C-alpha cells in the first residue's frame, strides 16, 4: 500500500551562515539593549543550540566556579536538556558542560538581575520554571519569540533581517576555527558526535589549528578592531 501513496515533498530549508568578526561585534553592540542579549552572547560564545538555550535552567549555570579548587573550576554551563521531544539533547555527546567566557558571565549576571526584577513586577502572574530565558512572567520562550526578537537585533546592527538564531552557532564555530582551535575540540565544544559532522556542516569555516580553550573567545572579542 505504501507504494501507492505519493509522499509529500518537504521544503528546502534556508542554509545556515556565519557572522564575520566585524558583524559579530556589531551584533553584540545592538544586542546590548535587547532582552535577548544574554541569549545572543551565550549562543555566540559557547555554541549552544537554540533548542538547548530555550530550556536552560539556572541550576545548570554556575557563574562563580570554584577558583580556589585544585585545579580551579571556571564558571560553566551544563547543557543537558533540549526543547526536542522528550527533552533529550540531539545526541548523547550533545550533553556537555562548557566553560563560560567572561563576556557570557557578565551578560548572564545582568540578565539574572533583570529577571529578579521581573518576578515581583509580575506578581501572581509569575510562573517559576527556573528557566534562564523566559518571558516577563516566567513562561518558556518558543522558537517564534526568539526569531522575532533576534530579527530586531540584526536589523538594529545593520545586518538585515535574513538571519536566524542558529546562525550564532555557526559563528561560534567560525570564530573558534579562526582563533586556532582544532576541529576535534570544536566538535567537542559544539556537542557533535564526530568531527565529520563539524567538517561537513561547517567546512567553509574551518582551518587547521593548534590551540584550544574558552579563553579563545575572550581573546577574540577583546582584541582591538582592525
169 annotated active-site:
yes
Is residue 102 flagged as an active site residue?
A: no
- Paired strand residues for 224: none
- Annotated active-site residue in 54, 81, 96, 202: 202
Residues 6+ away with beta carbon under 8 Å from 112: 58, 63
β-partners of residue 66 are 73
* 129 counts as catalytic: no
192 is catalytic: yes
The alpha-helical segments, DSSP class H, found in 32-142 are 37-46, 50-53, 102-122
Of 17, 60, 84, 90, catalytic: 90
Rounded to whole angstroms, the Cα distance separating 118 from 120 reads 6
Active-site option among 81, 96, 166, 192: 192
d(CA 78, CA 60): 5
Q: Of these residues, 39, 49, 81, 166, which one is catalytic? A: 49
3-class SS of residue 66: strand
Grid cell locating 98: 562548557
Q: Do residues 206 and 197 touch, judged by C-beta distance below 8 A?
A: no
Which of the following is catalytic: 54, 81, 169, 170? 169
Which residues are annotated as catalytic? 49, 90, 169, 192, 202
Amino acid at each position: 500500500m505504501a507504494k501507492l501513496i505519493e509522499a509529500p515533498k518537504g521544503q528546502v530549508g534556508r542554509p545556515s551562515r556565519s557572522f564575520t568578526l566585524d558583524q559579530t561585534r556589531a551584533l553584540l553592540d545592538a544586542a546590548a539593549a535587547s532582552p535577548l542579549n544574554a541569549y545572543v552572547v551565550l549562543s555566540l560564545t559557547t555554541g549552544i543550540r537554540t533548542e538547548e538555550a530555550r530550556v536552560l535552567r539556572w541550576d545548570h549555570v554556575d557563574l562563580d566556579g570554584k577558583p580556589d579548587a585544585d585545579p580551579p573550576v571556571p564558571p560553566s554551563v551544563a547543557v543537558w536538556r533540549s526543547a526536542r521531544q522528550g527533552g533529550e539533547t540531539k545526541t548523547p555527546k550533545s550533553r556537555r558542560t562548557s566553560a563560560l567566557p567572561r563576556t557570557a558571565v557578565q551578560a548572564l549576571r545582568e540578565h539574572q538581575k533583570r529577571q529578579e526584577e521581573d518576578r515581583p513586577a509580575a506578581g501572581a502572574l509569575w510562573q517559576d520554571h527556573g528557566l534562564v530565558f523566559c518571558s516577563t512572567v516566567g513562561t518558556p520562550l518558543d522558537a517564534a519569540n526568539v526569531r522575532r526578537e533576534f530579527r530586531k537585533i540584526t536589523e538594529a546592527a545593520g545586518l538585515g533581517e535574513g538571519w536566524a538564531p542558529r546562525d550564532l552557532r555557526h559563528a561560534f564555530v567560525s570564530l573558534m576555527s579562526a582563533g586556532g582551535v582544532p576541529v576535534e575540540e570544536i566538535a567537542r565544544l559544539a556537542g557533535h558526535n564526530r568531527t565529520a559532522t563539524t567538517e561537513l556542516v561547517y567546512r567553509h569555516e574551518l582551518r587547521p589549528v593548534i590551540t584550544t580553550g574558552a579563553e579563545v573567545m575572550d581573546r577574540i572579542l577583546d582584541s582591538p578592531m582592525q
